[in-house]
Structure 1
């Protein structure tokens, strides 16, 4: 492999550095794949406590803005506080994954793209209509082809050249562990919208 070649290499120093860069990137990618697989396969119950979803969303938006994508405008409609019983770190993992997916979709736009994050109180789905909150993450990016829609939450399914395909599968598992629901709507060439409902 690349690491073994680097050890016995007589290449110029600049080529050595480039080869080492490949090793590091592929190692990081392998770590990501293993970490996401273990996260998905784990049967450990999620530790729940008092969780301010609005605060988690505000922090997520800051992280998304820090990615520095100048071609995407992030717009948010988030209240100051919305309390539920949940796991803040796990929910941040969900929202960050949805936001990164949206940024990636918008990065393919020729014009300026838009990522919208909205959070409002909302009754749950039928039949019980429990009290809860609805988080919507939408974009006007490339969208998802119709033939792929039935597989977007499947583990290891991805249309990204270097994607792992675990993000949405893990997101659904986390949301369901909170007693919530997650749905995705998309039209190819016009963007996508993910809705996450969580009970209060």
Structure 2
């Protein structure tokens, strides 16, 4: 089937993405570093307009909020290249050509921040890229100027509960220790690359500097 129906009771603390067949799958949970099952999220009526229900995330068209009856939101992501369709009844994760989303699509801009090189062991630390379109959970690949992969990381909201249209997301990581290469090569800088998503968001690359630590 083309769509995945969201059929959970509004009072439930967690939503299920339910396919037309009687096979149910749990939606992607909020990152454990931001929200956990043991700590209820705070009430947020700027996101949860009414007790219970589902709401579009305004930065990422694949993301949506599940609100409980106490106005507490938890963020979920539609799987498999689907986007959240707030106009469907009931709301659903749908194919992109069926969705008119409030979240932005199109051009993306990726910028890279200065990083540092540690000599012993040889390692690049503080690699950081900012995706201005604000997509959540997309991979960013960090490479040296010679093309060596330093590390990969996925983007997250700067503030988990920021529901501002187009709010940026960030990806950060350190390279593994004991890199094979020269200090001179690594000090040339690095690139951070986003490969695009869903055919709606364009690929983008940012360039960052690397300075010797200390």
TM-score range, shorter chain: under 0.3
TM-score, structure 2 length as denominator?
Answer: 0.24
Task: Looking at secondary structure, tell me which structure has more helix per residue.
Answer: 1
More strand by share: 2
